[in-house]
Structure 1
Amino acid sequence: MSVRDLTVLGSASAVPTKSRNHNGYLLRWDGHGVLFDPGEGTQRQMAHAGVSANDVTWICVTHFHGDHCLGVPGIVQRIARDGVEHPVDAAFPASGRQYWERLRHATAFRDTDVIRERPVSGERMALDTGDAPFTLAARRLSHPVEAYGYRLEEPDGVTMLPAELGARGVGGPLIRRLQEEGRVTTPEGRTVTLDECSVTRPGQKVAFVMDTRLCDGVRELADGVDMLVIESTFLNQDAALATEYGHLTAAQAGEVAALSGVRHLVLTHFSERYPADDEKRFVAEASAAFAGDITLVHDLDRIPMPQRRLT
């Protein structure tokens, strides 16, 4: 059975708190698992969430600030210890390779050869996902150190229209042939094309945007996605600090979602300066601009993908 959801392993920013671990997000997608920004403590959080190293097929690091990567050593060593046999691709900014190497080989352990490095460079880059049921692209963001956001997309498919199939005498095995070949000839000798009996089914899309100021990269990543997982480190009262440190406010996250046609806005990466009572203020500021679904995450939340668009 295919599963598509986001497991939140941590949702703090630079400083973890008693209720929020450093970052960590596992996107499960039809048997694949994309682990974004494993911060300190991610390995233990995975145990609490009921997911394992065997669920991970990609590790995507946005940048090399500690709250986004200090969990890499534990994840790598757990992959080795658990004997994960499938390839695990690791995407990270190429400019930070020295930090990747330090994290990848942080301690003495029996190593694994399943990790395949996929360094990211340039303004935008498409990553080779092989036979995975999605594409994955990286886009440069605006932060004091080089940082990238990621966008996962499922290719468009088709939705068959039973009434049109019936009207044209297409049934049984002919339907599968029509889907595979694009046209069939019915027993009555009629040629029927796929376009006559189907409509395009948009593929689902997810964007993952961490530490950044507002920039073209944020908008490009967010454009038309079903789920936008985005940092909202600051409230609007601290917008100047957000810009100085290279972060977003909840209000800016809401504005991006509204302008980009996002369906579900997921807020995370909260500064420790705000008490738990301020959570409703983050939602209020985001919802002032964005009228769609908003989730303010907590550690160990599991957020399903929105229902698929039919057309």
Structure 2
Amino acid sequence: MRELVVLGTSSQVPTRTRNHNGYLLRWDGEGLLLDPGEGTQRQMIHAGVATSQISRICLTHVHGDHCFGLPGVLSRMAVDGVEQPVHLHYPASGEETVRALVAVAGRSVDLRLCPHGAAGEVAEGLDVVPLRHRVETYGYRLREPAGRSLVPERLAAAGLSGPAVGRLQREGEVDGVRLEDVSVPRPGQRFAFVMDTAVCEGADELAEGADMLVTECTFADDDAGLAAEYSHLTAGQAGAIAGDAGAGLLVLTHFSSRYQDVTPLVSQAQAQADARAQTGGTRVVAAEDLDRFGFPRRRALKQ
């Protein structure tokens, strides 16, 4: 299963309808908890998400609305008896803050601290790229390797079925039939997570070719001055990033409490995404607390 569970969508302060940040990405057998803000433990209960599903926790930076939920989540994992190792990824400059948060929770969870201080792969298929904010901040990208999809008609024409198909996938050739003869290229899926940042090359790099792109959208276009002052994105800027990158689905989140209705922000982002679209167009949605987003269908396969 590949699914994004939204646990909170508010920036800086929660509102009556929005909790602080928090997102759980289910990616096959892994569960990545991203930027758990205050109240994440309770939101997980509302969302029906068990702590046993968490294998990694990823912090973009150490501002409170992106990490103050960490002690509660770790404490709950201890209560629930979670036994698997949990890797905690975070910017190296936030070491003191992270260690303080972990200390509050105690150390009864097998937590592996994984600080990073530069762009690169921090786990298999998981990359970090620096963003531009008021403190050291990194976005995350999870990528699946490209592969091949079998074509039933080609398999039948080649006389392959049953165990022979499994052998073909493992070995690449069976009885003179090559895997590429009976399959088509399958592009790997990509997920990108871009939180607190001004427009920068890092955001563009993370968004490139993403099937699902989650970005902050703290301000409306009319408040571009505030966005620049605090190093955040406007709705239009988020849409432009997605359109330029050819992202499939843009999920907007991290809204300022000044906006009770974020429908205009979606319109602003969609307009810019459409204007900058490279291929296929980008669909823009606004996340609400406890929303679930399945991954879009794979891109069209090249014959």
TM-score in terms of structure 2 length: 0.94
Q: d(CA) in 2 for partners of 1:165 and 1:306?
A: 27
2:112 corresponds to which letter in structure 1?
R
Give the counterpart of 2:127 among 137, 155, 161.
137
Query: 2:188 matched to 1:203?
Result: yes
CA displacement, residues 44-101 of structure 1 (integer Å, 9 cap, x when unaligned)? 1101111121111110000010000000110111111211011111000011100000
Contact 2:62–2:97 under 8 Å retained in 1: yes
Q: How does 1:112-123 map to 2 (within 5 A)?
A: 112-122=108-118
1:126 corresponds to which residue? Answer: 121
Q: How does 1:173-252 map to 2 (within 5 A)?
A: 173-185=163-175, 191-252=176-237
Q: Which runs of 5+ in 2 are unaligned?
A: 275-281
Q: How does 1:60-71 map to 2 (within 5 A)?
A: 60-71=58-69
Query: 2:281 matched to 1:296?
Result: no
Aligned-pair CA distance for 1:19 = 0.8
3-state SS in 1 of match to 2:83? coil
Contact 2:20–2:38 under 8 Å retained in 1: yes
Question: Once structures 1 and 2 are overlaid, which stretch shifts more, 98-107 or 165-174?
Answer: 165-174
1:98 corresponds to which letter in structure 2?
E
Q: CA RMSD in A?
A: 1.2
3-state SS in 2 of match to 1:106? helix
Q: d(CA) in 2 for partners of 1:171 and 1:263?
A: 34
Give the counterpart of 1:83 among 56, 81, 87.
81
Q: How does 1:28-177 map to 2 (within 5 A)?
A: 28-106=26-104, 109=106, 111-122=107-118, 124-129=119-124, 135-177=125-167
2:201 corresponds to which letter in structure 1?
D
Aligned length: 294
Aligned-pair CA distance for 1:112 = 1.7
Q: d(CA) in 2 for partners of 1:265 and 1:80?
A: 34
Among all aligned residue pairs of Structure 1 and Structure 2, give the percentage whose two residues are the same amino acid. 51
Give the counterpart of 2:255 among 263, 270, 284.
270
2:143 corresponds to which letter in structure 1?
E
Q: d(CA) in 1 for partners of 2:97 and 2:297?
A: 39
Contact 1:153–1:203 under 8 Å retained in 2: yes
CA displacement, residues 212-241 of structure 1 (integer Å, 9 cap, x when unaligned)? 011110011000010000000001111121
TM-score in terms of structure 1 length: 0.92
1:17 corresponds to which residue? Answer: 15
Q: Which runs of 5+ in 1 are unaligned?
A: 130-134, 186-190
3-state SS in 1 of match to 2:129? strand
1:132 corresponds to which residue? Answer: none
Contact 2:198–2:228 under 8 Å retained in 1: yes
CA displacement, residues 144-193 of structure 1 (integer Å, 9 cap, x when unaligned)? 100000001112221112222222333332221111111111xxxxx111
Query: 2:263 matched to 1:280?
Result: yes
Aligned-pair CA distance for 1:310 = 4.9
2:132 corresponds to which letter in structure 1?
S
Contact 1:283–1:294 under 8 Å retained in 2: yes
Q: d(CA) in 1 for partners of 2:109 and 2:161?
A: 49
Q: d(CA) in 2 for partners of 1:83 and 1:172?
A: 41
Q: d(CA) in 2 for partners of 1:171 and 1:150?
A: 40
Contact 2:74–2:109 under 8 Å retained in 1: no
Q: d(CA) in 2 for partners of 1:310 and 1:26?
A: 27
1:188 corresponds to which residue? Answer: none
Aligned-pair CA distance for 1:119 = 0.6
